[in-house]
Structure 1
Amino acid sequence: MSDYSRAGAIHILAVSGLHVGIILLILSWLFKPLEKLRKGKFLKTVFIILFLWMFAFVAGLSASVVRAVTMFTFLAIGMSFQRKNVVEFSLITSLFFLLIVKPMFLFDVGFQLSYLAVFGIIRVQPKLYEIYKPSFLIDKKIWELITVSVAAQIGILPLTLYYFHQFPSLFLLSNLIIIPCLSAILIGGILVITLSLLGVLPQFLANVYGFVISQMNSFVSWISNQEEFLLKEISLSFLMMIALYVTIVFLTRMLIYFSPKKVIYFLISILFVQSVFVFENYQKKTKKEFIVFHKSRKSVIGIRGEGRLDVYHNLDSLSFQKLNLIPSYKIGENVSKIIETNINAVFKFDKTPILLIDSLGVYKLNQLKNPIVVLQYSPKINLERLIRVLQPKQIIADGSNYKSYINRWEITSKKQKTPFHYTGRNGAFILKSRNSNF
C-alpha cells in the first residue's frame, strides 16, 4: 500500500471508480452486438447495469463500490442516448441521487475524488486529445491514456494537495503501465475465477496471471523508490484549493469556448490566486496561537508566532521525530520552522496568564488571577479549592493525565461553572491572539 501511494497509484488498490469504469467499457464492448437487434440498445443497457451490480455484490458492497456502481449506472443510461452533454447530466444526476440518499457523502474524500476525476476526464480530456493527432493505433491508444491520466490529475490535483500534501510526479509513467495491466488483470481475473469454479483452470494460465500481478507490483515498487520525484510537505489551504479550482474551471472554459470575455475571466481568476497567496503570506507572519496538543501519556505544548512554532514537550529526541502531530500542524498551517524549547510554569500569551500545573501540584502564586490552567501529569490537587483561589478562565487537561483524574476534574468544573477542555475528547486546545490581523 505504501508503494502504490508513493507511486501515485493508490486508486489501483481501492475497488472503486477505476475498476468499475474499466468493467463498464468491457461490458459495452461485449454487448455491442445487441445493438443490431430491435430495442437492442435498451437490452444492452439493462445487461450492463445488471452485471455492474453483480460486480458490486461480488466486491462486497463496500461504500466506495456502491458509490462507483451508482455513478456508472447513470453513466451507462446516459451513454445509451448518445446525445450531447448527456454524460455530464448523467453524472450530475447520480451525484445528486447519492447525496439525497446519504448527504454525508459530500464530505467523503473518495466521493470527492471520484467525481472530480471523472468531470476532469469529461471536460479536459477532449481538448487535450486535439493537441496531437496520432497516425497509428498504438500511439493513438498511448495518447488516449496520457490525456485521460493528465485530465483526471487536473481534476483532482488541488484536492489531493489539500488532503495529502504530496504530489507523485511520476504518476503519468505509473498510469501508462499500470492501467493496461489492470485491464488485463480484471479480464484475466474473471476468466481465472470462472475456470477455477468449473475445475478446468490450466496451471500455466494461473502462473501467467500471477506473473503479471507480481511484475506490476515490482514496477510500482521501483517507482515508489524514486524519492526525488515524490514532492512532499506541500502546504495548501482550503482557500487556495478553492482559488485553484476557480482557475481550472475558467481555464477549461476558455480553451473549450474561446473568446476575449473568457480570457478576461481566466485572468481575473489568476489575480484571485495571487491575492490568496499574498493574504496567506501575511497571515503566516502575523498569526499567533497557543496550542495544547493531544498526545497519550505525554504533554506537548506549542506557541506559534512570526512564522515559527516553539514546542515544549517531555519526549526523547527519537520519539519527538516520530511524532506526527507537529509535522501535520506545520504542513497544514504553513509554518516555516519548528523549534524545541523550554517553557516556564507561568507565562503570558497575548496578555492572558497561563499556568502549567504538573505532578508537583504547585499553584498558589501571588497576584495570579483568572489564568488559563493546563493540568499535566496527573497532579494531586483539590480542583474546587484551585478554582476558588485562582478563578481560572479555562481549565485544560492534556493526554498526560489519568482518565480517572480527568473525569473527576470535569465533574468539579461543571459544578463550579468553569469551562473544561480535555484534549483527548475535544481535540487540541487553541488560543488565538486577539492582535493577529486575519
Structure 2
Amino acid sequence: MRKLLEYLPFHFTICLVVGIILQFNFACWFLTGIESVILLVGLVGVLFIFNQFKKKTFFTVVSWLLFVFVGMFAAFTTNNVHRENYYQNHLSQEAPVTIKIVKELKSNLYYYKYFATVQKIGNKPTTGKILLHLQKVNAKGTLEVGDELLFTSEFLTVQLPLNPYQFNYKEYLEKQGIYHQVFLKEPLFLKRESQQFSLDVIANKVRYSIEKALLDYNFADEELAVIKALLLGQRTDISSELLQNYTNAGAIHILAVSGLHVGIILLILSFLLKPLERLKYGKATKALIIVLLLWCFAIVAGLSASVVRAVTMFTAVAIGMSFQRKTWLLHALVMSMFVLLLFKPLFLFDVGFQLSYLAVFSIIFFQPKIASTWKPNCWLATKFWQLFTVSLAAQIGVLPICLYYFNQFPGLFMLSNLVIIPFIGLILLGGIVVIFLALNNSLPSFLASAYNAVIAMMNSFVSWVSLQESFLITDISFSLTQMIITYIVIVFLGLYLEKKNFKRFVGMLFFVIVFQIQLFFEKHQVQTTEELIVFHKSRYTIIGIKQRDQLLLNHNLDTVAIKKLSLLKKYTTAKKIDTVMYKNNIPAILQYHEQQVLIVDKLGVYQLKDMITPIVLLTQSPKINLERLLLQLKPRLVIADGSNYKSRIANWKFICDTNNIPFYDTGKSGAFVLK
C-alpha cells in the first residue's frame, strides 16, 4: 500500500477526483476553452520555474492544484449544459425535436424507458441526453438503439424524491448528464432507423441477433433472462423477485457484467494463450490478443458503461500482468482509473465504478496477507482457500460503501461466492459456446437443456440462500461520514499489515476512536431531535411524530401494508428509529408542542373552538368552503397531502394565494416537516 501512496500518478488521480467533485457540487469552473488552456499552460510554466529553482514544496502544491483544475475542467467540458448547442438553449413550442435512442432501460407497468440524445431542434444540430418514456398502451413495439424519433412535446424536469431519504432519481440522472424527460405515445411521433455508423448500433444489432437465436431454443424465461444478463449485459428482463433474491444472497454482482466477469474471462484467455509466451515477444503478443478479445466481448455485451469500465480496467491489468510485476499491476490500475475519469468524469459517481476499483485494489492489498496465514496441503483445499481469501479481501474493500448505499449486509455472501464463483468461469465459457452454436443454428437440444438446467440450479440455490432471513442484516444506518472514516481505518490497517510499527497502529486506533465518537454524536442527535412529518403517499394520509428514537404513525392504510412501505423503512433507518407505533386512524386535531394541527378529511367537518393560528392539513379531497375557513381561522399554513385530487389542490392553492396564506403541496414540494 505504501508503494501505491508514493506513486505520483496516484496523487494526480486523487486531485483529479477532488476537482470533479468540486465542479459537480459547486460549479466552480466557468472559464471558456481558451481561458482554461491559458490558465493550465500558465500553471505548467510555474511548475517549470519551481523545478528549475528546486522549490520542491511549491512544485508539489502547484502540481496538485494543476490536477484539481484539470478535474474541474474535465467535468466542465464534458457537461453538455455548458455548450452553446445544448438542446435547452434552442427549445421552442413549434420546433420539431429529433432524438436518437442510445440505451434501453427496464420498463415499468405503463412505460418503456430509454436514454436518448437530442440530435436536432428544428434544423439546428444539438447535443444533450434525455430520459424518454414511451407509453405502452397502443405501442406497436419497443424501440431499438439507433432509432430516431421526430416529435413535438414538452421537456419536463425530473422530480425530486417526495419523502426524506428516498432514492434520488433526479440526482442519479444528473450524474449521467440527464436533466429532462419526455413522455410520448403513438402515433404522436415519427420513427425512422438511423443510417449513421455507430458502435452502439452495431453492438445492439449483434446483441439482438444473439437474443433472437437463443429464443429458438427451449430456455425458460427466468433462465434466459439470467443468460442475457451474464453474457449480454441485459438485466431488463429479470424479474424483481429474482433480482431481490440475488441481492439478499450477496450475489447480485453475478448478474452485472462488470469486473468479476471480465476478470474471469481474462484469466481464461490468459490460460488458453499461455503457450504464446514461449515465442519471441510472446508476452506482448498474448497481451495484445487478450485486449482485442476483451473489447470484442465488450461490443457483444452492448458497450454499456459498466462493461466499458471493466474492460478498460482489465485492459490495464492484462498489460500489467504481461510484466509479471505487482507494482506494474497497481500502476496500470491507477492509470486506467485516471484515463477513465479524464474522459468520463461522471463515472466517478457511478456505484459500479466505485465498487469495481475498491474491490480490485482491496484484493491486491489484502488477499496475499490473508492467504499467507494458512498453507493447506491439499490442492482442493488450496483452491477453496484462495477463493475464500479473494472473496474476503474484496468484501473488506466494498463493505463500507455497500452499507452506505444499500443499508444491508448479506451474512451468507461467502457461502454464495464459494458455491457459485468456482463454476462461474465454466458457466461463462459454456454460455459463449452456446451463443456461438446458436448463431450458427447448430446448438444441440441436449446442450441447450443442460445449460438451462445449470442456470436453473444456480437460481434455485440463490433463492434458497435468500430465504435464510436470519442471516440477512437489514436497515443498517451508515452515514457518509462513517463510510469515509471506515476507509481511513482500512488504509491504516493495510499500512500496518504491510509493515507493523507503532505509528501505524496508533493511526489506525485513533480513527477507530474517531468512528466511535461519530457513532455517539449521531446517536445523541437522534435522542435530542423531534419532528412532525406529513409524508407524501398517493391516495393515503400518513402523519408521523418522531420523539427521540420513537416514531408514532397516524395513518389510514391497511395494517399490513403500512409496515411494508419503503418510504417508512428508509426514514426509520436514517433516523435510527428503534420503536414504531402504528395508529390506524387520523385524528381531527394534533398537538405538536405549541403548534395545533387541524386535520380536515373527506367529511369536511372541523372544529373552530380554541384554534389559534393552526396549521390546516387537508386530506381525502374534502368539499369545503376553504375561503371561509381561512377567514375564520387565519391559519399559519395550509397543507395538502397525497390523498387529494390534483384539481382540488390547484383550486386550494389559488384561494390561499389570493388570501396571502402560505400553501404547501406535498405532491410538488415533498413531505412536510415541522421541527
**Structure 1 residues 344 and 228, CA, compared in 2 at 3 Å: closer, same or farther?**
closer
1:118-169 C-alpha deviation (Å, 9 max, x unpaired): 2221221121111112334322221110001001111111222233332222
Per the alignment, residue 356 of structure 2 pairs with 114
The answer as to whether partners of 2:555 and 2:586 remain within 8 angstroms in 1 is no
Give the counterpart letter for 2:645 in structure 1.
Y
1:191-247 C-alpha deviation (Å, 9 max, x unpaired): 222233334444443343333323323322332232332223333333333332222
Q: Matches of residues 316-355 of structure 1 in structure 2 within 5 Å? A: 316-341=558-583, 344-355=587-598
Per the alignment, residue 34 of structure 1 pairs with 276
**Structure 1 residues 369 and 90, CA, compared in 2 at 3 Å: closer, same or farther?**
farther
Aligned match of 1:378 in 613, 621, 627? 621
Per the alignment, residue 527 of structure 2 pairs with 285
Per the alignment, residue 436 of structure 1 pairs with none
Residue 44 of structure 1, CA deviation: 2.8
Aligned residues: 432
So what's the TM-score if we normalise by structure 2? 0.59
Residue 378 of structure 1, CA deviation: 1.8
The reply on whether 1:124 has 2:361 as its aligned counterpart is no
The answer as to whether partners of 1:181 and 1:212 remain within 8 angstroms in 2 is no
User: Whole-Å Cα distance in 2 between the matches of residues 168 and 218 of structure 1?
Assistant: 17
The reply on whether 1:211 has 2:453 as its aligned counterpart is yes
**Structure 1 residues 11 and 306, CA, compared in 2 at 3 Å: closer, same or farther?**
same
The answer as to whether partners of 1:399 and 1:424 remain within 8 angstroms in 2 is yes
Per the alignment, residue 435 of structure 1 pairs with none
Residue 390 of structure 1, CA deviation: 5.2
**Structure 1 residues 351 and 86, CA, compared in 2 at 3 Å: closer, same or farther?**
farther
Give the counterpart letter for 2:600 in structure 1.
I
Give the counterpart letter for 1:327 in structure 2.
K
Residue 115 of structure 1, CA deviation: 2.4
User: Whole-Å Cα distance in 2 between the matches of residues 161 and 114 of structure 1?
Assistant: 16
User: Whole-Å Cα distance in 2 between the matches of residues 74 and 346 of structure 1?
Assistant: 65
The answer as to whether partners of 1:181 and 1:216 remain within 8 angstroms in 2 is no
Gaps of 5+ in 2: 1-241
Task: Give the secondary structure class of the aligned counterpart of 2:580.
Answer: strand
Identical aligned pairs, as a percentage?
A: 54
Per the alignment, residue 70 of structure 2 pairs with none
User: Whole-Å Cα distance in 1 between the matches of residues 310 and 653 of structure 2?
Assistant: 45
The reply on whether 1:182 has 2:424 as its aligned counterpart is yes
Task: Give the secondary structure class of the aligned counterpart of 1:61.
Answer: coil
**Structure 1 residues 221 and 391, CA, compared in 2 at 3 Å: closer, same or farther?**
same
RMSD: 2.8
User: Whole-Å Cα distance in 1 between the matches of residues 617 and 305 of structure 2?
Assistant: 41
Aligned match of 1:402 in 641, 645, 648? 645
Residue 312 of structure 1, CA deviation: 0.6
Give the counterpart letter for 1:243 in structure 2.
I
**Structure 1 residues 203 and 343, CA, compared in 2 at 3 Å: closer, same or farther?**
closer
Q: Matches of residues 205-354 of structure 1 in structure 2 within 5 Å? A: 205-341=447-583, 344-354=587-597
User: Whole-Å Cα distance in 2 between the matches of residues 285 and 419 of structure 1?
Assistant: 31
The answer as to whether partners of 2:588 and 2:606 remain within 8 angstroms in 1 is no
Task: Judge which range, 97-106 or 247-256, deviates more.
Answer: 97-106
User: Whole-Å Cα distance in 2 between the matches of residues 256 and 51 of structure 1?
Assistant: 36
Per the alignment, residue 409 of structure 2 pairs with 167
Per the alignment, residue 334 of structure 2 pairs with 92
Give the counterpart letter for 2:414 in structure 1.
L
Residue 385 of structure 1, CA deviation: 6.1
Give the counterpart letter for 1:305 in structure 2.
Q
Give the counterpart letter for 1:288 in structure 2.
E
User: Whole-Å Cα distance in 2 between the matches of residues 77 and 387 of structure 1?
Assistant: 73
More helix by share: 1
The answer as to whether partners of 1:149 and 1:175 remain within 8 angstroms in 2 is yes
1:17-68 C-alpha deviation (Å, 9 max, x unpaired): 2111111222222333333444443333332222222212212233322332
Q: Matches of residues 189-208 of structure 1 in structure 2 within 5 Å? A: 189-208=431-450
The answer as to whether partners of 1:117 and 1:155 remain within 8 angstroms in 2 is yes
Give the counterpart letter for 1:153 in structure 2.
Q
**Structure 1 residues 81 and 370, CA, compared in 2 at 3 Å: closer, same or farther?**
farther
The answer as to whether partners of 2:341 and 2:348 remain within 8 angstroms in 1 is yes
**Structure 1 residues 359 and 81, CA, compared in 2 at 3 Å: closer, same or farther?**
same
User: Whole-Å Cα distance in 2 between the matches of residues 40 and 390 of structure 1?
Assistant: 87
The answer as to whether partners of 2:620 and 2:644 remain within 8 angstroms in 1 is yes
Residue 404 of structure 1, CA deviation: 1.8
**Structure 1 residues 392 and 89, CA, compared in 2 at 3 Å: closer, same or farther?**
farther
